[in-house]
């Protein structure tokens, strides 16, 4: 069988997104023959010893890379983080209780709406007044809430929490778009969850990292499919897990560990973000859309000072092999998603195009 060589593309897709090339090679081989078994990773039993080893390794790598306490549990479930929006209040809000949220964008908004279906939901702060272009500060978290949730990184609008607020109640965090991009103090959170398709693997798996001592103490009777303690007790095997997505996530986490772990990944991400944001600030025809102090290293959003020049700029970056930088429809302009596996050479390619365009049209 002949495998075609991939065309070089600088992939800025917001998700599903770029993953390490070596992971693609390993995953492709496993699709044909998983560990010499004669079976594809797509057809092996999730109850087989080889896949049980994959699941155990993936769970251990989540905890190792993030430095989670030993007693924390990891489960991989389907349904995306959007199912998590319902899973969270069912597992953390007592009947007759209430939750507290900060609204920083599209996904926080959806999480709030799902929580309202379960019980009283307080929005203690919001940046909606300025089209989610900043992170709220100086708000209070009510001590009588059952839990407090925030979204660590705003994929669409390009903002990120640089410091997490101290909370008198258990903290839940949707880290879908910046998990494994920087170190976090896991013990500060009752639950961290996120879809795999940004920094960890392909679409189809959602990781939940949680403290079982602070989870499922509501007295609420819920479906076992939405019960985190149930999935934890069953080691993510209560029903058939997303086998391929878990396997590729395991490969990606092995790559992260090999290159130096989350601390090294953070250094790389900071360098990439500085390179691009410096260009946005230096070149007058480009303008960032997010408060400088809250800029996300994962998703850089910007517009052109003259929107009439967009078609010519679009043609230039497409010619350079750049893909996926058009902004979300609610923001417009451009969004460059610089997830963990994006090399700095790809960021330089975009900066070169921006500088060339500015010189030609400035």
Catalytic residues: 107, 174, 198
Phi-psi group of 261: left, alpha or beta (phi > 0 → left; psi -120 to 50 → alpha; rest → beta): left
269 Cβ contact list (under 8 Å, min separation 6): 181, 182, 297, 298, 338, 340
Crossing angle for the helix pair 80-92 and 106-118, nearest 10 degrees? 40
State the pairing for strand pair 147-151/171-174.
parallel
Crossing angle for the helix pair 261-282 and 49-66, nearest 10 degrees? 60
| Pairwise CA distance, residues 295 & 133, whole Å | 9
């Amino acid at each position: 069988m002949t495998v075609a060589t991939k065309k070089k593309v600088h992939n800025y897709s917001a998700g599903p997104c770029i993953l390490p090339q070596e992971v693609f090679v390993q995953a492709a081989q496993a699709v044909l023959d998983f560990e010499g078994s004669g079976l594809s990773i797509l057809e092996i039993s999730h109850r087989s010893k080889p896949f049980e080893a994959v699941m155990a390794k993936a769970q251990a790598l989540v905890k190792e890379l993030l430095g989670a306490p030993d007693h924390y549990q990891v489960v991989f479930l389907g349904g995306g983080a959007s199912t998590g929006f319902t899973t969270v209040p069912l597992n953390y809000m007592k009947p007759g209780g209430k939750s507290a949220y900060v609204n920083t964008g599209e996904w926080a908004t959806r999480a709030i709406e799902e929580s309202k279906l379960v019980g009283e939901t307080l929005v203690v702060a919001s940046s909606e007044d300025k089209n989610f272009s900043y992170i709220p500060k100086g708000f209070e978290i009510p001590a009588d809430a059952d839990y407090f949730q925030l979204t660590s990184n705003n994929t669409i609008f390009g903002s990120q929490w640089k410091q997490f607020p101290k909370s008198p109640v258990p903290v839940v965090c949707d880290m879908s778009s910046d998990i494994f991009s920087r170190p976090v103090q896991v013990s500060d959170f009752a639950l961290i969850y996120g879809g795999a398709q940004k920094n960890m693997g392909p679409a189809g798996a959602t990781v939940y990292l949680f403290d079982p001592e602070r989870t499922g103490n509501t007295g609420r009777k819920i479906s076992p499919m939405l019960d985190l303690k149930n999935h934890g007790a069953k080691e993510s095997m209560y029903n058939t897990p997303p086998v391929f997505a878990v396997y590729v996530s395991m490969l990606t986490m092995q790559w992260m560990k090999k290159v130096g772990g989350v601390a090294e990944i953070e250094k790389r991400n900071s360098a990439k973000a500085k390179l691009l944001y410096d260009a946005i600030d230096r070149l007058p025809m480009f303008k960032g859309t997010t408060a400088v102090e809250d800029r996300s290293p994962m998703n850089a959003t910007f517009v052109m000072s003259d929107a009439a020049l967009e078609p010519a700029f679009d043609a230039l970056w497409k010619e350079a092999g750049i893909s996926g930088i058009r902004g979300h429809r609610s923001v417009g302009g451009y969004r460059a998603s610089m997830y963990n596996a994006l090399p700095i050479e790809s960021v330089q390619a975009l900066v070169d195009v921006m500088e060339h365009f500015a010189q030609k049209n400035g």
